[in-house]
Amino acid sequence: MSKFREQYRQAQKKVAVPTGKVKWFDTDKGFGFIANEDGGEVFLHASALPEGVVPKPGARVDFGVADGRRGPQALAVKVLDAAPSVAKAKRKPADDMAVIVGDLTQMLDRVANDLRKGHYPKNPELLAKMLRKVADDFDA
């Protein structure tokens, strides 16, 4: 390993990345503030966020800091908390899925018996569509 590379790695270990929690963020205005772990506030502009990310109040973040015109400003913000899954919030309750899976199992048993007799299902498109739908519900 080169001497330069070793010095670079040592310097990286010494650099502390500030962390904090989003105090608030207004998407219409395009900015908000982070409550720094040191107790201070850091200005958060939308341009410092990854594309498509809208932080929720209380979300934990890592960020760089630069001195802005009106105080510290966050740079290269990385949201540490995983955003809640929209798909998970919309998926069917487990009781409903139990009924659906039971019905599908009975249908698949009938299809399996027909296949043993050398006959494919009469409506393979419908069967495939149902299997995909159940798989999508589980994958949410």
pLDDT digits (tens, 9 = 90+) for 68-119: 888 899 999 999 876 555 556 677 888 999 999 999 999 999 999 999 999 9
In angstroms, rounded to a whole number, what is the distance separating the alpha carbons of residues 97 and 93?
6
> Left, alpha or beta for 71 (phi > 0: left; psi -120 to 50: alpha)?
left
The mean-pLDDT minimum among 16-25, 49-58, 100-109, 131-140 falls in 131-140
Domain boundaries, the chain: 3-79, 86-139
Residues whose CB is less than 8 angstroms from the CB of residue 79 and which lie 6 or more positions away in sequence, other chains included: 49, 50, 53, 55, 59, 60, 61
Query: CA of 19: how far to CAs of 11, 38, 39, 52, 77, in Å?
Result: 19, 9, 11, 21, 9
Q: Which pLDDT score, from 0 to 100, does residue 67 have?
A: 87
- CB count within 10 Å of CB 137 equals 16
Q: Which pLDDT score, from 0 to 100, does residue 139 have?
A: 72
14 vs 32, higher pLDDT = 32
In angstroms, rounded to a whole number, what is the distance separating the alpha carbons of residues 67 and 42?
10
Q: Which pLDDT score, from 0 to 100, does residue 69 have?
A: 86
Question: How confident is the model over 17-41, as pLDDT tens digits?
Answer: 788 999 999 999 999 999 988 888 9
Domain covering 3-79, topology: OB fold (Dihydrolipoamide Acetyltransferase, E2P) (2.40.50)
Number of H helices, E strands in the chain: 4, 5
pTM of the prediction? Answer: 0.49
Q: Which pLDDT score, from 0 to 100, does residue 52 have?
A: 85
